[in-house]
Structure 1
Amino acid sequence: MSEQFHTQKHAIRTSFEKAAHSYDAAAVLQREIVDRMFERLELIRLSPPRVLDAGSGTGYAVPKLRSRFTDAQIIELDLAHSMLSVSREKQLGTGVKKLLKRLSSTTPAQVCSDIEQLPFADNSLDMIWSSLTLQWCNTPDAAFAEFQRVLKPGGLLMFATLGPDTLKELRSAFAGIDGYEHVNQFIDMHDLGDALITQGFATPVMDMEYLTLTYQDAKSVMQDLKGIGAHNTMQGRRTGMFGKAAWQQVQTQYEVLRRDGKLPCTYEVIYGHAWKNDRPRPQGVRPDGSQIIEFRPRNS
């Protein structure tokens, strides 16, 4: 991906810090994707003692993970501290109930950190669950390398992220407005699969589907994106004010796509899971399994 379109981590953190209290009201798609991930998880047999929710947000997946893995320690990790705070508030409740839950050992641990720099020891986790977080990485390699490092041999990585056709209607509406990129770009499913293999994951399974939300107008689309903190965070984004005439042009171009009285907003959702190989890689073999061949001069 071009460096011009790289996301800026500090901008991502700031955006999600601000969106923490509006997130749940706007995160209809995000909850649906988590539910669909759990349907896929039903097909996998495992009982992990230690599970990391990497990019846990306001904690929608946490009670589901706790219900699915009743004896596991659940760890929430997010880049935005306020997201973790909202999750903790929901889990603890209020009054006497809050006090009792605070004393309970079932309350998940929380860590504010970056998935590209995980603060965990090597081989210390049994499963990593990550829903709609990897798309905020410029390349998946650093995150996959960290997931590989902290997972125990035989550990499972399960994730969902967004593909290149995500927000294609919004991208079309902004086309030709100015010389700036107004919509984040996303990584192709095949590149994600290749990155998993390169980082040493075994038997990756990938699939994709399109989910389309509908809106009354372009402003509602933008409001929902703002509500979940999904601002444009690329280095090539426009930083100044967006004029009234330009915004009118965006709305006009979006209107061309109206169907059955509604404006579509498409998300390309990519699902994947892979295992950390439980056998050490032989010397002279790359993470993707290819042989390293060295040519050395013959001794005279």
Structure 2
Amino acid sequence: MTSTTIPSRNKMRIAQQFSRAANTYNSAADVQLDIAFDALTYLPSHYKNGLDIGCGTGRISQRLSNRCDRLVAMDLAFGMLQYAQQNEVVADPSICWLQGDADSLPLADDSVDMLFSSMVLQWADNQQKVMAEINRVMSSGATAILAIMCDGSFKQLNDSWLNIDSERHVNNFATAQSWCDAAKQQGLQVNMYEKQYVTWHQGIKPLLASIKSIGANVVLTSQNSTATNSTFSRSQSGFNRKKLQHLETYYQQQYAKNMQLPLTYQVCFLHCSK
């Protein structure tokens, strides 16, 4: 009898959650769109073969397809790909929709001269493995633009939970420097930029819903810890109305401005060339 590895289980959970969120993603993912638009500004040229890692609902893929002759739009979540194809305003023959994993890209060596990924790679289990794959599929002279959530993201939420209980409710995000180092160690030339984005919410329920509605409420399991199924799932120790009230009270006392609760996204932009 074979057992599923922790990384494999995490990937299945990620794919399931994002597939479930396909119908609500576009209406909820405003900050993700802002980040992707900022990432697009680093792609001034026209390219021959492009790859969009973590294309989601495809709204950025359609913009990327205008910047290259042929685009592979890839996502781990099949539900996202289905939504993207069904909701194309005009079917674009230059886009190939493909289910795939950033840890093992289903593309040939040296096959793309433009690679784009926004708000996806923070889910990767192994930075070196992902960067090795990115380097492998990039042709000589290729450009990769990667926008990645990093350490400092969801800080207010994490700090507030730590005041409530000892469980892990928020993922540990890698540092921007560790992503930059991983890319360099795989032989890529890298320029790194960081930017902070803050969303504001009327209460703890809308704040948590903003995470769930885009599918980002999976707390990854590591070798040394257990995790809840989501950022605010009902765990065995009990996630109840009283605990939620305590969370909101602490959050408001520590972070509220004008009766609004902030949620921070710390993002690093890696401009990589080969």
TM-score in terms of structure 2 length: 0.89
- Asked if the contact 1:12–1:233 (Cα under 8 Å) also holds between the matched residues in 2, the reply is no
- Unpaired stretches in structure 2, ≥5 consecutive residues: 1-5, 230-234
- Asked if the contact 1:7–1:233 (Cα under 8 Å) also holds between the matched residues in 2, the reply is no
Whole-angstrom CA distance in 2 between matches of 1:194 and 1:166? 19
The aligned counterpart of 1:164 is 151
Q: Which of 20, 28, 31 is 2:30 aligned to?
A: 28
The aligned counterpart of 1:247 is 244
The aligned counterpart of 1:295 is none
Whole-angstrom CA distance in 1 between matches of 2:259 and 2:187? 48
Structure with bigger gyration radius: 1
**Alignment of 1:14 onto 2:4:** no
Deviates more, 1:219-228 or 1:257-266: 257-266
Whole-angstrom CA distance in 2 between matches of 1:196 and 1:66? 25
The CA deviation string for residues 132-155 of structure 1, in whole angstroms up to 9 with x for no partner, is 111001232111111111111111
The CA deviation string for residues 270-290 of structure 1, in whole angstroms up to 9 with x for no partner, is 1111112xxxxxxxxxxxxxx
The aligned counterpart of 2:3 is none
Kindly provide the amino acid, as one letter, of the partner of residue 215 in structure 2.
G
Kindly provide the amino acid, as one letter, of the partner of residue 213 in structure 1.
T
**Alignment of 1:237 onto 2:223:** no
TM-score in terms of structure 1 length: 0.81
- Asked if the contact 1:172–1:253 (Cα under 8 Å) also holds between the matched residues in 2, the reply is no
- Asked if the contact 1:5–1:185 (Cα under 8 Å) also holds between the matched residues in 2, the reply is no
- Asked if the contact 1:53–1:76 (Cα under 8 Å) also holds between the matched residues in 2, the reply is yes
Kindly provide the amino acid, as one letter, of the partner of residue 216 in structure 2.
A
Kindly provide the amino acid, as one letter, of the partner of residue 214 in structure 1.
W
Kindly provide the amino acid, as one letter, of the partner of residue 259 in structure 2.
G
- Asked if the contact 1:5–1:184 (Cα under 8 Å) also holds between the matched residues in 2, the reply is no
The equivalences for 1:123-272 within 5 A come to: 123-202=110-189, 204-235=190-221, 236-238=226-228, 240=235, 241-256=238-253, 257-272=255-270
How many residues were matched structurally? 257
**Alignment of 1:105 onto 2:105:** no
Q: Which of 48, 72, 75 is 2:72 aligned to?
A: 75
Identity %: 28
Kindly provide the amino acid, as one letter, of the partner of residue 64 in structure 1.
R
The aligned counterpart of 2:39 is 37
Following superposition, the deviation at residue 170 of structure 1 comes to 0.7
- Asked if the contact 1:7–1:137 (Cα under 8 Å) also holds between the matched residues in 2, the reply is no
The equivalences for 1:271-290 within 5 A come to: 271-276=269-274
Whole-angstrom CA distance in 1 between matches of 2:169 and 2:125? 16
Whole-angstrom CA distance in 2 between matches of 1:174 and 1:7? 24
The aligned counterpart of 1:51 is 50
* SS of the residue 1:91 aligns to: coil
Whole-angstrom CA distance in 1 between matches of 2:119 and 2:205? 23
Following superposition, the deviation at residue 68 of structure 1 comes to 2.8
The aligned counterpart of 1:84 is 81
- Asked if the contact 2:115–2:143 (Cα under 8 Å) also holds between the matched residues in 1, the reply is yes
Kindly provide the amino acid, as one letter, of the partner of residue 16 in structure 1.
F
Kindly provide the amino acid, as one letter, of the partner of residue 145 in structure 1.
A
C-alpha RMSD of the superposition = 1.9
Which aligned segments of 4 or more residues in structure 1 are displaced greater than 3 angstroms? 4-7
- Label 1:159 to 1:266 Cα distance change in 2 as closer, same or farther (>3 A): same
The aligned counterpart of 1:280 is none
Whole-angstrom CA distance in 2 between matches of 1:226 and 1:47? 35
Whole-angstrom CA distance in 1 between matches of 2:34 and 2:273? 24
Whole-angstrom CA distance in 2 between matches of 1:212 and 1:169? 11
Following superposition, the deviation at residue 247 of structure 1 comes to 1.5
* SS of the residue 1:179 aligns to: coil
Kindly provide the amino acid, as one letter, of the partner of residue 88 in structure 1.
Q
- Label 1:185 to 1:119 Cα distance change in 2 as closer, same or farther (>3 A): same
Following superposition, the deviation at residue 92 of structure 1 comes to 4.9
